Each structure stands twice: as C-alpha cells, then as structure tokens.
C-alpha cells in the first residue's frame, strides 16, 4: 500500500493503481472521456490531466501509476484551464455540432464534459474537414464526424470480445476509425455484438433502432436476464411508452460483466413476427377469436376425458420458458394428469447423458463459467461458439493472443478453427476413439495429472480409427494438457463419462454449453424425454416465443386435438385447435438456471397486449379450469435430482 | 444616465432565437422597464443608433458579405456584444454548408433545385452580396457574451437581458447552459 494525497485528502491505496482510480476510490471526481472502468487505460483524450507536485507538466491521471507520498491536485486553475483547452481542441477537430445529434441533451459524454466545465462555446474555428459516414451495417451506423478518437470501441472489440475488427488508420487529423483493413463495417469481420456502440461516449457509433427515439432519461430501465441462450447474461432493457428502445449488457452482472452478443442485443429488434392477440378456437374448420373462458373450457373438456391415461396428452414446453412455467407444466401434465410424454422442445438432447452421469455419481461434475476467466488452455468439442453461446466464445477469443491456447476437436468444420492452435477433425462417430487417442498422447508425453487406464501404446490404433495421425494427437495433447488450468467445453454427441475421465486426466474444468436458456432447469425437473408421438389424442405445446422444428411440427400433425400456447403465428398455430396468446420474454418474469447452475431472475420490461398472458399463468388457468390445484412453491423442485453442475442461488 | 440601450439584429439565422425571446411573454414588460430597446428586426426601428448602444444582440451566423456588414455595424455601435443562439455561437445549422464548396451549394440551390426547370441561373448581379464560408460571430468580431441554445430558452434569454439591463455580465453556467 502507498500513501497519496489528492486535493488535500490523504489516502492509502494499493501500489500500481493509477492516480485516476485512486481518486475515484476516494470519491474524488476527475472528468474523463477515453477512460472506461472495463477497458485498459489509453491516455488519449487528455481530459483527466492533473497537477502533480514536482512534475514539470500536467499529467494524465488515467495512465499515471501512484507513487508513495505523491501529492496531486485535481482542480487548480491550471487544471481547469487545461480541461477547457482540451475540450476546445476536441470540439473544433470534427463536426461536433450538437443540435443535429440524437445523443445531445444528456447522453453525450463530450457534451456533458463541456457543460461540466461551464463552456458556452469554443474559441477555435472548426476544422471543416468532412469525414465519411458508414451506414453499411444492418444495425450500427458509424459517423466519423462525431468521433473523438478515444479508441474505446477498438479496445472493447479487442479486449472484451476478442474480435479485433475495429482499428485506426492514418494519423493526426486524418485518423480514421475503420473496420478490418478499411472496408465498410457491413462487409467486415464484425459479429454485431454491439459492444462498440455501448462504450462510445458520443454519437459516433449508434444503433439504428434506438437513435432519436428518446434520451436515457426519458426511458425506463429494467435489469433482467437475456433468454437468448443458456449463458444467462445480465442485461439492461431500455423501454419507452411500452416500446423496446434498446438492450445493453449490464456492466455489473457477474456472468458477462457488460458484454452481450448479437442475439441478445440486436435480434430482439430485428425480429418481425405476427403476434397473436386473442385466444382462438377452431370452429367449422377455421380459427376464430374467442374469450379466455371459452378457450379454456374447450381445452379442459378435452383434458378431463384423458385424465389418468399415460398416453393421453403429448405435452411439450419450450426451454425458453422460466422455471415457474416449467413447474406448472410438469405438475399439470405429468403429475396431475399422469401423462408419460411430458418434455421440452429440446427433448433432453443437450443434458440427458450428463444428467444420468450426475445421477450415477451422486454429485455434480461440471465446472463454472468463471473457470474460463482464469483458464490458460481451452478445448472446444463439437460446439459452435461463434454462432451460439457467443459470450462463452468471447471469453476464449479475447485471451488467445496473450498466452492461453485453443484446441478444437470436431468431426465437422468448427467455426473456431481459424483461431485454434490445433484442430482435430476426426471421422464422424469416432469421438470416443479421439478422446482415447488424446488421452494416450497425454500419457505418452508424461503430462497426465492422474493415473489412467489408457496407455501410451493405445495411441496409434485409436488415432487411426479417427482418420488422423498420432502426431496430430501429440500436438493436441500439448495444447490442452500443457495448460495449468484448462477448460473443456462440449455440447452433445460425446459420452460425458468418457469426457469426465479425460478432464480429470488433464486437470480440466468440464462445462457443457447445454441448449437454450432453461435447458438445465428442464433437466432438473426431469423433462428430458424424446418427443416420440404414439397414440396420444391431445397435444399441448407451450411454445411461448420459441420456434418449433419442422420435424416436430410434422410429427405432431397426426395428433387429433392440438392446443398451442404461443406468442406469434406459425405453421404450428395454423394447425392448432386452440391457440392461446402468450407473452414473449420481455413481457413476463421468471427464474432461469444458466448453463453453469446460476439461478437468476428475469424481470418484466414490457406490458403485453390486453389478452396476452405469461405462459406460467396460462398453465395455472388451464389447470384450474381442469379442476387441478397447482402448488406455486417451486423452491424444492430443482433439488429433486443431483445437478450435473452445482446450483448457485 | 438613463436606461441602458439594447439593440438586436439577425444574420444567417431562422429568427427562432427572437421568437424564443418573445416567449418570455409578460416578462418583456419588466425588461422594457429596466432597459431601452432601441431597435430589433421585429420592431419598427431596425438599425442600432449611430451614437451607439450599450448592449448589442446578434442572432445567426455569417454566411455572406451582407451578414459581415451587419456584424461589423453592430460591433462598432455597442459596448457589450451578445451572440444569441447556436448559429451565432458556433455557426449552427447553416454551417453545414461548409462541408461543400460555395459553387456546389449555389448550383444545388439555383440550378439543380426541384423547383426550377433546369434552366436555372446562379445570380451574379454586382449589387448582390457574395456568399462566404459560414462563420460563427466570434470569427468575424470579438464577442463578449455567448448564449448557446437552439434556441436558448426564454428563461435563459430573460436572465441574460435582465442581467445586462442591470449592468451585470450574465453568469452562463448550470441550467443556463444545460437547458434541455
């Protein structure tokens, strides 16, 4: 610890932190622009200049490490004049004419900085050089005229996401933010995560949807959980007059610390769907609007005749639904009505084998997402982290340049191959042989962290079964077993028991990415059966805002009586006998169990239309209508079986 | 001594700042009690006294030689010059013209415009003023008080005029600046 005096206040701070962070920890506010608490300091804007006793010139506090007995002054006349001068230079550099910009009026950090210094104008003639505007991207507009060259976006794209699309070309007054080697953003390697938009202090990077639709002050902000996949990122949802404005990553969320992906940030805006507004019942061949009472009467009449028949109702729920809905669903269709085919749209595909292993072991065996943040080696097995569970992919991509290495094992071309240190593309159906070969290679290299039944001599035969060379496995073994804290990510199609053995062999944390948002909760509730249709007379699909695969829709066609609980129209609702309008994910609240066992509550940010209801409530009403009483306390439900990863509340 | 004399004029502006001035409604009567409003573009007398006024208020930026004359005239005839509104403070909306050459702008306005039949001619009579790069007031004459806003709201303008009318320079900070 060192002692530092800032504005006469003496404080103790850890060695090595910057003057800026030291000041902030003592509640002293030094204005900044290019600084951001989640990015490495850049020191480019010079707004944070402070006086340091003994220093020849003013120093940028964001990059200056503290020294013992340092004396700092942050608001002398010299500092205030310097700040005004810095802002004058920034304002006169490009087109910072506030009236035409939608962040003007509270959402622009540059404007706020000038107001903070009580600047009424800037005394330099503006540099009237026009810069290009890039509107090629489907979601993001890059307006170079408003850029203050702070490089927050470049740092976010690199340090937080690991995509490294944004950079700067030219120098001095010609400095220009570009994508890749200077191509339009819409044609670049940009993956549309939107982190750049979220960190941009001015209106240089904006998203098309929310621009000009209101200031943050005019919007309601709801902290909730993204339901796009099983990672469970924390998000801030901005709404105004019951309209969705935009979605930001929540910087304080422990899972993702502010980053989200295209699916969480932009897809909700881009989706166009035909919302179902009222309950509908099929009369004389076509669906007619009706009341909730009528619709539920029709449903319960049918359900009552099937009570006690184990193959009476085929019941399927979406894994995007919260635990509250899943619990009501199971209580009604499995417990009360005694049906056997009660499952989810995922059919346990991503969790069944792992759940069975946990059952037999009597304990959890998977690791946590936080293990990825400390990992120095990764193995990705047959899962596409570039298109799904993207934030888990970001955790890998952003550290690959700094030491940690990546091994990909996939019988298909994996999207992470270009970034991998070693790729093993084994023949289809040989994943267990591949793991045997890899284990043998690890043993052969003497890198095994525990004793194994697999011997080094098993390498050649196992390798040849997979269509790869033994040398490939030896290279791969270095990558994963050479790491001190490796993490293995897998999806499905590999025996978890075999993987667990391998993980123990190399001392790795093993994590399956699972499927959609509540994949793990479905597993805990035992909703993992395949949706194999037999002689069922009725079908109930609690689809919500999810989609059903073509195959499932086809399989379900033959069931005579179909009830669909859904948010929008689809081929499934078109063939239903009863359609019940469901709230989408923003319009309902509920709990979700993320892929690594984190129990989180999603909050509602929009009010659905009058006749639209949350799925949990619909199932409750359905139960009441059929004379079944449901218990609303689900706290014990998740503990019914051993979880494959420890559940954290 | 008499009441302080105030004159205003406008150049490349939309008159919005003067409309905002009028928005102070009945408070205008208070200002008139304290000061002698000599000339404005919206009253009968349009030109500031040759003998000079105490406070000159200018709305709009400078985008041609005629505006330059108005700015120079007001500056030479007043003790304290106020730049009223964003156009006067830094160029405002008309300043967007600076991203194009003057030839391009004139061609767009007189030849390529939707309301002419293609035989448009750019006026070049020697009696006409000449378009220039759009400038803020301070790029042409020294300015004493800056009142940003598009337009500055009536409360701010009332504050500025009443301070000046009582012989004080208005203190532009806090919600006088951040008027959204």
SS (H, E, C) A290-357: CCHHHHHHHHHHHHHHCCCCCCCEEEEECCCCCHHHHHHHHHHHHHHCCCCCEEECCCCCCCHHHHHH
Q: At what angle do helices A292-305 and A615-625 cross, to 10 degrees?
A: 60
Residue A308: CB partners within 8 Å, gap ≥ 6? A337, A338
d(CA A298, CA A286): 15
Residue A382 CB-half CA count within 13 A: 21
Across the beta sheet with A486-490, the strand order is A422-424, A405-409, A377-381, A486-490, A509-512
Residue A193: CB partners within 8 Å, gap ≥ 6? A161, A163, A259, A260, A261, A262, A265, A390, A394
Inter-chain touch B99–A128, beta carbons under 8 Å: yes
d(CA A99, CA B150): 7
Residue B179: CB partners within 8 Å, gap ≥ 6? B149, B152, B153, B155, B156
Of residues A104, A125, A130, nearest to B99 (C-beta): A130
CB atoms within 10 A of CB A441: 27
Torsion of CA A165, A168, A170, A176, to 10 degrees: 100
Q: Mutate which of A88, A92, A99 to test chain B, going by most B C-beta atoms within 10 A?
A: A99
In B148-167, the residues whose Cβ lies within 8 Å of chain A are 148, 150
Inter-chain touch A97–B150, beta carbons under 8 Å: no
- CA A53 to chain centroid, in Å, comes to 46
CA distance A130 to chain B (A): 6
In B69-108, the residues whose Cβ lies within 8 Å of chain A are 83, 86, 89-93, 95-96, 98-99
Token pair in block for residue B9: 């004029």
Which DSSP symbol is given to B12?
Answer: B
Evaluate whether B64 touches B130 at the Cβ level (below 8 Å). yes
Of residues B98, B147, B178, nearest to A115 (C-beta): B178
Evaluate whether A643 touches A361 at the Cβ level (below 8 Å). no
State the pLDDT confidence band at B180, using cuts at 50, 70 and 90.
Answer: low
Inter-chain touch A97–B92, beta carbons under 8 Å: yes
CA distance B153 to chain A (A): 14
Cis peptide before A142 (omega within 30 of 0): no
Q: What is the mean pLDDT of each run of 10 residues along chain A (649 residues)?
A: 96 96 96 97 97 97 97 97 97 88 92 93 89 95 96 98 96 94 97 98 95 93 98 97 96 97 93 92 96 96 90 95 96 92 95 94 95 97 95 97 95 96 95 95 95 92 95 95 96 92 96 96 95 94 95 95 97 96 97 96 97 97 92 84 89
Question: What beta strand segments (E) does A322-456 contain?
Answer: 342-344, 377-381, 405-409, 422-424
Residue A336: CB partners within 8 Å, gap ≥ 6? A307, A623, A626, A628, A630
pLDDT value, residue A532? 92
Of residues B83, B86, B133, nearest to A99 (C-beta): B86
Inter-chain touch A121–B174, beta carbons under 8 Å: no
Q: Chain B residues with CB inside 8 Å of A88's CB? A: none
**pLDDT greater at residue A153 or residue B123:** A153
Torsion of CA A637, A638, A642, A645, to 10 degrees: 180
Q: Chain B residues with CB inside 8 Å of A123's CB? A: 138
Q: Chain A residues with CB inside 8 Å of B99's CB? A: 95, 128, 130
pLDDT value, residue A97? 85
Q: Does the pLDDT value for residue B158 go beyond 60?
A: yes
Torsion of CA A35, A41, A46, A48, to 10 degrees: 60
d(CA A405, CA B97): 53
Q: How far is CA A456 from CA A470, A497, A504, A627, in A?
A: 11, 20, 17, 64
Q: Chain B residues with CB inside 8 Å of A118's CB? A: 172-174, 177
Inter-chain touch B135–A121, beta carbons under 8 Å: no
Q: At what angle do helices A77-93 and A109-116 cross, to 10 degrees?
A: 140
Residue A632: CB partners within 8 Å, gap ≥ 6? A324
Inter-chain touch B148–A121, beta carbons under 8 Å: yes
d(CA B52, CA B7): 9
Inter-chain touch B93–A100, beta carbons under 8 Å: yes
Chain A contact for B147 (CB, 8 A cutoff)? yes
Residue B45: CB partners within 8 Å, gap ≥ 6? B38, B39
Q: Which burial class, exposed, middle or buried, applies to A292 when counting CB atoms under 10 A from its CB (0-12, 13-18, 19+)?
A: middle
Residue whose C-alpha is closest to residue A225's, from A323, A154, A291, A139: A323
pLDDT value, residue B1? 62
Evaluate whether A291 touches A285 at the Cβ level (below 8 Å). no
Inter-chain touch A123–B150, beta carbons under 8 Å: no
Torsion of CA A518, A523, A527, A533, to 10 degrees: 100
d(CA A566, CA A464): 49
Evaluate whether A33 touches A47 at the Cβ level (below 8 Å). yes
Q: Which residues of A touch B (CB under 8 A)?
A: 95, 97-100, 104-106, 115, 118-123, 125-126, 128, 130, 215
Of residues A115, A120, A130, nearest to B146 (C-beta): A120
Q: Please, what's the b/e burial string for A232-269 (b: 16 or more CB within 10 A of its CB; e: otherwise)?
A: bbbbbbbbbeeebbbbbbbbebebbbbbbbbbbbbebb
d(CA B8, CA A494): 82
Three-state DSSP state, A379 = strand
CA distance B1 to chain A (A): 32
Q: Chain A residues with CB inside 8 Å of B172's CB? A: 118, 120
State the pLDDT confidence band at B179, using cuts at 50, 70 and 90.
Answer: low
Q: How far is CA A641 from CA A338, A491, A522, A647, in A?
A: 20, 21, 12, 11
Inter-chain touch A120–B96, beta carbons under 8 Å: no
d(CA A596, CA A367): 7
Number of H helices, E strands in chain B: 6, 7
Residue whose C-alpha is closest to residue A408's, from A374, A379, A434, A432: A379
d(CA A641, CA A593): 14
Residue whose C-alpha is closest to residue A603's, from A235, A171, A52: A235
Torsion of CA A304, A305, A308, A313, to 10 degrees: -90
Inter-chain touch B146–A98, beta carbons under 8 Å: no
**Model ipTM?**
0.89
Of residues A95, A98, A118, nearest to B173 (C-beta): A118
d(CA A201, CA A194): 14
Inter-chain touch B86–A98, beta carbons under 8 Å: yes
Inter-chain touch A97–B95, beta carbons under 8 Å: yes
Which DSSP symbol is given to A241?
Answer: T
Which DSSP symbol is given to A64?
Answer: P
């Amino acid at each position: 610890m060192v002692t530092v005096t800032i504005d006469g206040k003496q404080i103790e701070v850890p060695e090595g932190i910057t003057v800026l962070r030291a000041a902030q920890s003592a509640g002293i506010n030094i204005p900044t622009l290019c600084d951001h608490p989640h990015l490495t300091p850049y020191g480019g804007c010079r707004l944070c200049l402070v006086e340091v006793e003994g220093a020849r010139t003013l120093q940028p506090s964001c990059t200056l490490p503290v020294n013992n007995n340092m004396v700092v002054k942050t608001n002398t006349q010299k500092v205030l004049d310097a700040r005004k001068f810095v802002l004058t230079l920034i304002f006169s550099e490009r087109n910072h004419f506030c009236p035409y910009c939608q962040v003007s009026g509270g959402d622009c950090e540059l404007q706020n900085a000038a107001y903070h210094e009580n600047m009424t104008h800037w005394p330099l003639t503006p540099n009237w050089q026009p810069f290009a505007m890039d509107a090629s991207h489907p979601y993001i507009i890059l307006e170079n005229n408003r850029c203050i060259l702070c490089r927050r976006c470049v740092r976010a794209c690199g340090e937080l996401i690991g995509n490294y699309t944004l950079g700067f070309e030219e120098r001095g007054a010609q400095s220009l933010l570009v994508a890749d080697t200077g191509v339009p953003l819409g044609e670049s390697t940009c993956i549309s995560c939107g982190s750049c938009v979220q960190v941009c202090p001015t209106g240089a990077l904006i998203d098309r949807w929310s621009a000009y639709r209101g200031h943050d002050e005019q919007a309601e902000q709801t902290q909730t959980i993204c339901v796009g996949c099983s990672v469970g990122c924390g998000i801030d949802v901005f709404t105004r007059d019951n309209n969705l404005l935009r979605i930001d990553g929540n910087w304080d969320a422990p899972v993702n610390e502010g980053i989200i992906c295209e699916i969480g940030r932009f897809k909700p805006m881009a989706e166009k769907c035909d919302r179902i507004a009222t309950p509908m019942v099929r009369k004389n061949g076509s669906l007619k609007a009706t009341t909730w009472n009528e619709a539920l009467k029709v449903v319960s009449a049918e359900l009552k005749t099937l009570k006690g028949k184990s193959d009476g109702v085929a019941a399927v729920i979406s894994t995007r639904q919260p635990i509250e809905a899943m619990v009501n669903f199971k209580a009604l269709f499995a417990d009360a009505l005694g049906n056997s085919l009660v499952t989810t749209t995922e059919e346990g595909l991503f969790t069944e084998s792992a759940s069975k292993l946990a059952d037999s072991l009597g304990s959890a065996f998977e690791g946590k997402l936080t293990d990825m943040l400390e990992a120095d080696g990764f193995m990705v097995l047959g899962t596409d982290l570039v298109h799904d569970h993207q934030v888990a992919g970001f955790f890998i991509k952003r550290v690959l340049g700094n030491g940690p290495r990546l091994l990909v094992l996939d019988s298909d071309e994996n999207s992470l191959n270009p970034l991998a240190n070693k790729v093993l593309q084994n023949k289809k159906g040989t994943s267990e042989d591949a793991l045997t070969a890899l284990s043998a290679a690890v043993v052969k290299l003497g890198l095994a962290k525990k004793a194994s039944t697999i011997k080094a001599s098993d390498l050649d035969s196992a390798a040849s079964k997979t269509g790869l060379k033994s040398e490939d496995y030896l290279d791969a073994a270095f990558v994963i077993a050479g790491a001190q804290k490796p993490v293995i990510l897998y999806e499905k199609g590999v025996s978890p028991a075999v993987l667990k053995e391998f993980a123990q062999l190399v001392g790795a944390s093993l994590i399956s990415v699972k499927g959609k948002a509540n994949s793990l909760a479905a597993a805990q509730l035992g909703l993992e059966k395949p949706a194999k249709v037999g002689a069922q007379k009725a079908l109930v699909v609690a689809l919500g805002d999810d989609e059903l695969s073509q195959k499932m829709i086809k399989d379900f066609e033959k069931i005579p009586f179909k009830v669909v609980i859904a948010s929008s129209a689809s081929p499934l609702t078109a063939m239903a006998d009863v359609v019940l309008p469901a709230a989408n994910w923003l319009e309902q609240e509920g709990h979700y169990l993320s892929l690594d066992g984190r129990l989180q509550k999603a909050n509602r940010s929009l009010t659905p239309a009058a006749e639209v209801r949350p799925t949990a409530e619909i199932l409750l009403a359905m139960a009441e209508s059929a004379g079944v009483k449901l218990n609303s306390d689900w706290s014990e439900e998740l503990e019914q079986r051993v979880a494959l990863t420890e559940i954290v509340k | 001594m008499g009441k302080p004399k105030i004159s205003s004029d406008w150049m490349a502006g939309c008159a919005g700042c003067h409309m905002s001035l009028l928005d102070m409604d009945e408070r205008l009567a208070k200002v008139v009690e304290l000061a002698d409003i000599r000339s404005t573009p919206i009253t009968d007398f349009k030109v500031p006294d040759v003998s000079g006024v105490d406070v000159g208020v200018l709305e709009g930026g400078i985008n041609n030689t005629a505006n330059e004359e108005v700015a120079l005239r007001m500056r030479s005839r007043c003790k304290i010059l106020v730049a009223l509104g964003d156009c006067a403070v830094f160029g405002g909306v008309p300043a967007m013209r600076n991203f194009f050459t003057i030839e391009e702008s004139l061609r767009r306005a007189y030849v390529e415009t939707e309301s002419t039949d293609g035989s448009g001619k750019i006026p070049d009579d020697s009696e006409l003023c000449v378009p220039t790069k759009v400038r803020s007031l301070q790029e042409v004459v020294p300015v004493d008080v800056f009142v940003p806003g598009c337009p500055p709201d009536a409360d701010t303008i009332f504050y500025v005029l009443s301070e000046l009318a009582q012989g004080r320079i208005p203190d532009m900070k806090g919600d006088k600046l951040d008027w959204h």
